[in-house]
Structure 1
Amino acid sequence: MRYKLFLLLVALMPALIGPAFSTELLIFAGSGMRSPLEELGRDFTVETGIEVFYDFDGSGRLGSKILTGIKPDMFIPGSDKWADKLKEKGAIKQCFPLAYHVPVIVTPKGRDKVKSLQDLTNKDYKLALGDAKAAAIGQNNQRLFKKLGINYADMNVVARGIAVKQLLQWVESGAVDAAIVWHADAVQSKLVDMIELPQQLNSIDQIPLCLMQAPPHPREVAKFWKYLLENGSRIFAKHGFQTLPLP
């Protein structure tokens, strides 16, 4: 009799104590937002018990994954380009501006070579730029140089990175003389000097918070969406992002 009672209790245990694991949200996000998003994810998990896992990569690579059928609960690319493309494909339900990516020039600490945009056309200086097919920073580079009337042939581009962190590492190591990265990444490095660009000449990207059509965990991701809208600007600003509406 006791043995039967034991078996009954074992069978009922999941119902009595609830699920063994919490829901796990999968968020695709541009690699340049790692610091603020990881902080927001940790705080959200503490508050709700819902786990947040990120796949950080170049926005183009993440967008391509979605087009192949891999569905995250949310997509946070580094610019509107992939958000717009996935909206057209019917993969995204809605987007909301979260923060802004502001491009800056970075050079190795103490290496007094590149001082302005004009110096980027000096072929004595080795440059690293973003890969436009893989990362939002690469697409931004294209728009910026087109706006300034600078041709790639005028520059000594020796490497193209698939993510901002890669560009920053090349500059930090001294492998290149300069790169264009996001302001938020530059201010976190102690190994680079930063050159800000005049706003009227710059090409600033909006970071959209995108909710997927039919996400795998609709109720839980709706809570995270609300949490990001309420807390995202404050945490992104803390990590060096522009969050106020631009003039």
Structure 2
Amino acid sequence: MARLITRRLLLGRALLAGLVRAATGAGHADAAGRAKGAAATAPAAAATEPARRELLVFAAASLSEALEEVGRAFTAATGMRVAASYAASSVLAKQIEAGAPADAFFSADVAWVDYLEKRGLIQPSSRRDVLRNMLVLIAPADSTLRLRIARGFDLAGALKSGRLAIADPDSVPAGEYARAALTRLGVWSRVSDRAVRGENVRAALAYVARGEAPLGIVYRTDAQAERRVRVVDVFPEDSHPPITYALALTARAPPKAAQLVEFLTGDVARQIFVRYGFTASPQPQLRK
């Protein structure tokens, strides 16, 4: 039976050497470690990397459930195994820069694909803008809060004595979008000192799901994947930059990896992504 080999998202640090072991089937270490730790171990890891029998995708944390199902479908269709490692797009891009053995990068922010392209670390001809997402305000599922998002809305009052859970706005795309939206709506200055910052969007989601924060800002797909939270309201699309997921093969990817890009942008994958709450780009073509 076809199966996706998955590196589950970890909220702590992981050594890049573990990624190499995982990619060769010798372990299941996750790539969610900080870029600083990755940079320290990457050269030795890259130098000793043996031939791999599977494709390794570095993907934004928000893609985890959907990409697992897509990966199983890809294996069933092609016979090729695919592994995925999830973390913040910024962390993954830095790890690829440091020499991590990824074959493809699926980012929640086109800026991090730009970052790698400028450094010659992706194959430009493989690059596609594939999916879109929405930004939502969430609360624990048992919360009775009603709040409409609009310019100057009373987010600080809704928090009462609690904290606002967001991904780190200084490094994580979901956090950057959240800060941009709150700034555009004129409320960031009132709540910035009350934000609890997660190292990725799933960390922010977890704060609210566990009841440790009364409100949080995540992607719509994250809220849909977690039964312990509910959506309070959706941020206006014009309050933040478009949330676009970009896909590209790394410079080191083998020729067979092109089949993965073709599949991830095809009808089967598109239907799966839409079911998980993403909006598919009408025709995911090369982004110029």
Q: Is 1:97 aligned with 2:129?
A: yes
Q: Is 1:167 aligned with 2:199?
A: no
1:235 CA drift (Å) = 1.2
Aligned to 2:168: 131
In 2: Cα distance, 1:65 partner to 1:200 partner = 32
1:224 CA drift (Å) = 0.9
Q: Is 1:113 aligned with 2:164?
A: no
Q: Is 1:222 aligned with 2:258?
A: yes
Q: Structure 2-normalised TM-score? A: 0.71
Across the two proteins, how many residue pairs are aligned to each other? 223
1:242 CA drift (Å) = 1.6
Aligned to 2:84: 54
Q: Is the 8 A contact 1:31 1:165 kept in 2?
A: yes
Q: Is the 8 A contact 1:121 1:155 kept in 2?
A: no
Q: How large is the Cα RMSD of the aligned pairs?
A: 2.1
Q: Which letter maps to 1:208?
A: A
Q: 3-state SS of the aligned residue for 2:265?
A: helix
Aligned to 1:28: 58
In 1: Cα distance, 2:261 partner to 2:280 partner = 17
> Kindly, what percent of the aligned residue pairs are identical?
26
Aligned to 1:6: none
Q: Which has the larger radius of gyration?
A: 1
In 1: Cα distance, 2:227 partner to 2:265 partner = 31
> Which structure has the higher relative contact order (CA within 8 Å, separation 6+)?
1
Where do 5+ consecutive residues of structure 2 fail to align? Answer: 1-50, 283-288
Q: Is 1:211 aligned with 2:249?
A: yes
Worse-superposed segment, 199-208 or 73-82: 199-208
Which aligned pairs between 1:141-220 and structure 2 lie closer than 5 A?
141-155=178-192, 157-194=194-231, 195-215=233-253, 218-220=254-256
Q: Is the 8 A contact 1:129 1:141 kept in 2?
A: yes
Q: Which letter maps to 1:227?
A: F
1:206 CA drift (Å) = 0.4
Q: Structure 1-normalised TM-score? A: 0.82
Aligned to 1:234: 271
Where do 5+ consecutive residues of structure 1 fail to align? Answer: 1-20
In 1: Cα distance, 2:96 partner to 2:170 partner = 15
Q: 3-state SS of the aligned residue for 1:92?
A: coil
